[in-house]
Amino acid sequence: MQDYSVTHLKQLESEAIYILRETAAQFERPVLMFSGGKDSIVMTHLAAKAFWPAKIPFPLLHVDTGHNFPETIQYRDDLVEGLGASLVVASVEKAIAEGRVVEEKGPNASRNMLQIQTLLDALEEGQYDAAMGGARRDEEKARAKERFFSHRDEFGQWDPKNQRPELWNLFNGRMAHGEHFRVFPLSNWTEMDVWQYMKAENIELPSLYYSHEREVVVRNGTILAVSEFVQPRDGETVEKKRIRFRTMGDATITGAVESDADTMDKIIEEVAAARQTERGNRADDKRSESAMEDRKKAGYF
């Protein structure tokens, strides 16, 4: 007998593809934000599925801090070439050189906040009216407040107390001149859903996600990979550890976890047993209790 049952992963996939198609239908110039992390990789995979056999009908936008892991950039370029997709790179390095943003000073300086203005400039330059992101509600409490279609004012700012209701699957993309929307098709997914889906779809990932030996320093409780952007300070000891990354971003703020999980099956087992949140090793989220919400109000992803 034919089995007509639908798994929860197929339901989540169907919902995300519906939102991607709805975004393409409602907006004139949508763009898909791509960081090289697993969520944006799944988003790109879903977008390719949603519009197959045509190519993805909108560009990918990467806000590049200039402090990325080389593996991330190589993966991004290979993926874009393989899909025949269009890629737009918004460079924080260029924004600093042009005086659009000012680099932070001090021992814990980061380019994380500089991504906000760089992103807003890129959205305005490209006249994009909908920026699709891979954020999920289970990642962080500020992201839990986002709607699928999340309104931004003419300054790119978000007001979490003034969001539009989303009844059933009716999404309201109406906006005034200069405003735009952020769209989050993976809102209902969890970290576990993402890993189980990637396994089911046999999605290739950057090697950074799998356990590997690397030189690291432990700084403020966060394991940071030693690189040209992260150099040991006085008093810090460089160690070799077997690590992997649960999230992906700027190399100066993305912490690793000690792990022997070198396959998707092992990672799924590890995620199931994890007691620390997915973003618990992100230095950018530790700046204050409301760090993510403050950034999002200013225009962050």
pLDDT tens string 159-205: 888 888 888 888 988 898 889 999 999 999 999 999 999 999 999 99
CA within 13 Å, CB half, 178: 5
Which residues touch 53 (CB under 8 Å, ≥6 apart)? none
**Angle 51-34-88 (CA atoms, 0-180°, nearest 5)?**
85
Residues β-bridged to residue 180 = 152
Q: Strands, DSSP E only, in the chain?
A: 30-33, 60-64, 87-91, 130-132, 149-152, 180-183, 212-219, 222-225, 239-244, 257-258
pTM of the model: 0.91
pLDDT tens string 120-172: 999 999 999 999 999 999 887 888 888 999 999 888 888 888 888 888 888 98
pLDDT higher than 90, residue 300: no
Instruction: Report in angstroms the alpha-carbon separations of 93 from 100, 103, 106, 181.
Output: 10, 9, 18, 26
* 17 — pLDDT class (breaks 50, 70, 90): very high
Give me the pLDDT at residue 44, please: 98
More confident residue, 289 or 216: 216
Give me the pLDDT at residue 39, please: 96
